[in-house]
Amino acid sequence: MTEKLHKNLRLYPWYVGLFHAYFWLPVYFLFFNSKLDLSDVLYLASIYFASVVVVEVPSGWFSDTFGRKKTLVTASIFLCIAYAIFIFANSFEQFVVAQVFLAAGIAFNSGSDTSLLLETTQALDNEEAYGPCEAKAMKFNFLGTASAAVLGGLAAIPDYRGAYILSLVGGIGLLIITLNFKEPLQNKTEDRDNFVKQIFSCFGLLRNVRLLWLSVFAVFMIVINHIPYEFYQPYIEVLAKEYNAIKLTPFLSSLHLTLTMLVASWIAAHSIRIKNKIGTGATLLSATGLQIAMMAIMHFFVSIPAAIATLLRSCPRALMTAPLNVAVAPNVPASKRATFLSLQSLFGRLGYSATLAFFATKAGGTDEWPAIATMLGWGMWCGLAGFALLLISVRCLSKQ
Q: Among candidates 22, 23, 17, which has minimal Cα distance to 265? A: 17
Q: What's the half-sphere exposure (Cβ side, CA atoms, 13 Å) at 65? A: 17
- Looking at residue 190, its pLDDT comes to 44
Secondary structure (DSSP) of 277-292: HH-HHHHHHHHHHHHH
Structural domain total, the chain = 1
What is the C-alpha separation between 87 and 82, in angstroms, rounded?
A: 9
Contacts 24+ apart (CB under 8 A), 291-297: 291/221, 291/224, 291/225, 291/228, 291/316, 291/383, 292/224, 292/380, 292/383, 292/384, 292/387, 294/228, 295/224, 295/227, 295/228, 295/376, 295/377, 295/379, 295/380, 295/383, 296/380
- CATH code for position 281: 1.20.1250.20
DSSP secondary structure letter of residue 367? -
Number of Cβ within a 10 Å radius of residue 70: 18
Identify the pLDDT of residue 363. 60
Which of these, 342, 354, 345, 343, lies nearest to 379 by C-alpha position? 354
Q: What is the pLDDT of residue 189?
A: 45
- Angstrom CA distances, 180 to 14, 166, 206, 288, 391, stand at 12, 22, 35, 37, 43
- Structural domain boundaries enclosing 27: 2-181+189-399
The DSSP code for 208 is: S
pLDDT tens by residue, the chain, 400 residues: 677 788 888 899 999 999 988 888 778 887 888 888 777 888 888 788 778 778 888 888 888 888 899 999 999 999 999 999 999 998 899 999 999 999 999 989 988 898 899 899 888 888 888 988 899 998 998 899 888 888 887 888 888 899 999 999 999 999 999 999 988 875 544 455 677 888 888 889 888 888 999 999 999 998 888 888 778 878 888 888 888 877 777 778 778 888 888 999 999 999 999 999 999 889 999 999 999 999 999 999 988 899 899 899 889 999 999 999 999 988 888 888 888 888 888 888 788 878 877 777 766 555 577 888 888 888 899 899 999 999 888 777 766 5
DSSP calls for 4-56: HHHHHHHHHHHHHHHHT--TTTTTHHHHHHHHS-HHHHHHHHHHHHHHHHHHH
